[in-house]
């Protein structure tokens, strides 16, 4: 999931489609020691509900929250990965004084042949290669429990 601070704290006209405004605040993709190992299976087990914790140190204001599911079932071919983003507008009313750092541009941060998008799932599931989710690292100010599914 990513956050973008709306320009002038006004999300009415903010699209988030230019500049490096999206900051990753949590991710869960593949964990070979978990059962199930894929986050998509965990999402299904929890009735398609996912809990995202907003970083508590974040400065109050208007934000867009983007949650993205990446379908990898045909990701072994170029342009096979399927993206399912969803955005919602949120208002942080209590928080800290920490501004979001520069993040990534969406669209544009990753391409069809990038690691984590073009991937041989058989090799990942066999433990022959590691899976790295696209979109860069999770912001260090993110909540430590940010990778929990839930109602």
Q: Is residue 19 part of a domain?
A: yes
pTM of the model: 0.88
Shortest CA distance to 74 belongs to which of 9, 118, 15? Answer: 118
Range of the domain at 102: 1-137
Q: Is residue 57 part of a domain?
A: yes
Q: Which residues pair with 68 in a beta bridge?
A: 85
Query: By the 8 A CB rule, do 64 and 88 touch?
Result: yes
The backbone torsions φ and ψ at residue 40, rounded to the nearest 5 degrees and listed phi first, read: -60, -35
The backbone torsions φ and ψ at residue 45, rounded to the nearest 5 degrees and listed phi first, read: -60, -25
Q: Can you give the CATH number for the domain in which 29 is found?
A: 2.70.50.70
Q: Is residue 147 part of a domain?
A: no
- 151 residues of the chain, pLDDT tens digit each: 999 999 998 999 999 999 999 999 999 999 998 888 999 998 899 898 888 899 999 999 999 999 999 999 999 999 999 999 999 999 999 989 999 999 999 999 999 999 999 999 999 999 999 999 999 899 998 876 544 555 4
CB atoms under 10 Å from CB of 114, counted, come to 14
């Amino acid at each position: 999931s990513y956050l973008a601070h709306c320009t002038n704290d006004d999300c009415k006209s903010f699209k988030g489609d230019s500049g490096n405004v999206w900051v990753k605040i949590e991710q869960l993709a593949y964990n070979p020691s978990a059962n199930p190992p894929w986050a998509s299976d965990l999402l299904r087990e929890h009735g398609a509900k996912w809990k995202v914790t907003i970083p508590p140190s974040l400065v109050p204001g208007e934000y867009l929250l983007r949650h993205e599911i990446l379908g990898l079932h045909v990701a072994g071919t170029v342009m096979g990965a399927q993206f399912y983003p969803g955005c919602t507008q949120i208002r942080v009313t209590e928080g800290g004084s920490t501004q979001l750092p520069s993040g990534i541009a969406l669209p544009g941060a990753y391409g069809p042949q990038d690691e984590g998008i073009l991937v041989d799932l058989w090799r990942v599931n066999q433990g022959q290669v590691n899976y790295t989710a696209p979109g860069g690292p999770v912001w260090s100010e993110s909540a430590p429990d940010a990778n929990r599914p839930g109602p």
